[in-house]
Homo-oligomer: A and B are copies of this chain.
């Protein structure tokens, strides 16, 4: 894993465990200045991967308790069983001695997976990335939704600009689009758990622009091929402000590589 790309450099941890040190970068900030939850999760997974000695984060759950700010942080691990095919452990991310995020993850070696396959869902039906529009290509003056942090780390291509980007949310909390890390870093299983939380939330299309994640669960289903990732996001149940967001990532070869669900709460 090269540390030259911002994703790798900014998720790096130092130490030998169970305590690691990290530096939360402002390059993954969202509106409000705190760090994106997918990025913070990726920092915790870097520490867990080192301790669990397996390549692929198969199943991941993150509980967001407080906002994480740019600056120093520590990651404390509490390992569980290391067996076959899984090794499991927990991570707590702290700043100033306060626990902000708690993660549990089971790592495996997905190249060893061996069993039946039957897929009934299908990849998003998108025009080629070059025939799509850059979601952040022509930013309007009102930059509330497009803070300078994380939007510079990602490239998103859409068949047409969504309603919320034109000041007219469609009322349908669903979208399909292409996504990749900016700067040419190819996707891998360590990038997928963070990416599911980095795109525009589906509730933007309902006219709700501030939402906080309570819990995020990610299942990594395969190692992604290089290239653009086809994404599908939706929210079907907004109940008293609480809502789920389902996210799928398919690779450039048409394989489902990650599936996630988060529970979030509207703040506006």
Residues of A within 8 A of B (CB): 58-59, 61, 63, 65-66, 78, 80-81, 83, 85-86, 88, 90, 92, 98-99, 102, 104, 106, 110, 113-121, 172-173, 206, 208, 214-215, 217, 219, 221-222, 236-242, 244, 256, 259, 261, 263, 265-266
Determine the residue in chain B with the shortest Cβ distance to A172. B120
Q: Is the CB of B117 within 8 A of A90?
A: no
Select A83's contact among B65, B222, B244, beta carbons within 8 Å: B65
Select A86's contact among B81, B98, B214, B256, beta carbons within 8 Å: B214
B residues less than 8 Å from A172 (CB atoms): 120
Q: Is the CB of B99 within 8 A of A81?
A: yes
Say whether chain A's binding surface is mostly helix, strand, loop, or mixed.
strand
Q: Is the CB of B217 within 8 A of A116?
A: no
A253: shortest Cβ distance to chain B, in Å? Answer: 13
**Interface CB pairs A-B, < 8 A, 25:** A58-B242, A59-B215, A61-B215, A78-B78, A86-B214, A115-B241, A115-B242, A115-B265, A115-B266, A116-B206, A116-B208, A117-B238, A119-B236, A119-B237, A120-B172, A120-B173, A121-B236, A121-B237, A215-B219, A217-B217, A221-B239, A221-B242, A237-B256, A259-B261, A261-B261
A115 to B240 CA separation, bound complex (whole angstroms)? 4
Q: Is the CB of B81 within 8 A of A113?
A: no
Given known A104-B102, A214-B59, contact A219–B236 (CB-CB < 8 A): no
